[in-house]
Amino acid sequence: MALIFALIVGVFSFKSLAHPVIYQEGWVLSHMSMKDMTDTNLGYSLTHRWSMGYQYFRLQDAEGKTDQFNLFKVNHLLKRFNAKDSQGNIYLHSGLGHAQSSDFKNRLGWMGGVEADWETRTLFTSLKYLHYGSSRTDHPVVVGRVGFSPFKADFNSLQSWAMLQVWSDPVTSRELKVTPLIRFFYQNVLWEMGASTKGDMMLNLMVHY
């Protein structure tokens, strides 16, 4: 049943891989890296609406101060909107675990957030708000994306996307980080490459099982 559900979702949307909750009993491993940010996740979908897993998150400001979080995470698909040629989703994020920084060690860390996306076979938009915190640090993060695919591809074919990401983290930087990127899907693998307007490289790899 899990395989059948995965194929149905895949035929409708190649971007299901990039969602925080995928089909039941599916595993997702992802890693995103930039000069001042690292985000590594390992997740397991208990159902098609709930997933749990681990996250390592690092932010670094212009002075070199680094905040790090090791969290147990739970993601929830709150609502899905299905139309004939499009799909929308709303997700909730929560996490609890360990926080440390250049200024402190061994604090209770947490995160919470909400994410929404809307997609067709050739268009994609998303907006995510995440808040990481501890007794000594506070990091609100907002990430928005828009993208398009120049062609429709079959489920087992390579599909490419051109995207623009806007990142806001007022604690580590007062400037918006704008990053054009290219996304590729092939079967169960997603990878992205891009560079911000400041020249910072971004690499992202995601695999599901």
* CATH number of the domain where residue 28 is located: 2.40.160.40
Both tokens assigned to 114: 């909400």
The per-residue pLDDT for 152 is: 76
Helix (H, G, I), strand (E, B) or coil at 5: helix
Whether 95 contacts 72, CB under 8 Å: yes
Q: Could you report the average pLDDT of every consecutive run of 10 residues in the chain (209 residues)?
A: 35 52 88 92 94 95 89 97 92 97 91 96 94 92 94 76 93 84 89 92 90
Q: What is the number of structural domains in the chain?
A: 1
The pLDDT value given to residue 107: 94
Q: What is the pLDDT of residue 203?
A: 93
Q: Tell me the pairing of strands 107-119 and 87-101.
A: antiparallel
DSSP state of 48: S
Q: Find the domain containing 54 and state its range.
A: 2-208
- The closest alpha carbon to 97, from 108, 112, 85, 105, belongs to 108
| pLDDT in the model for residue 170 | 84
Question: What pairs with residue 180 in β-bridges?
Answer: 164
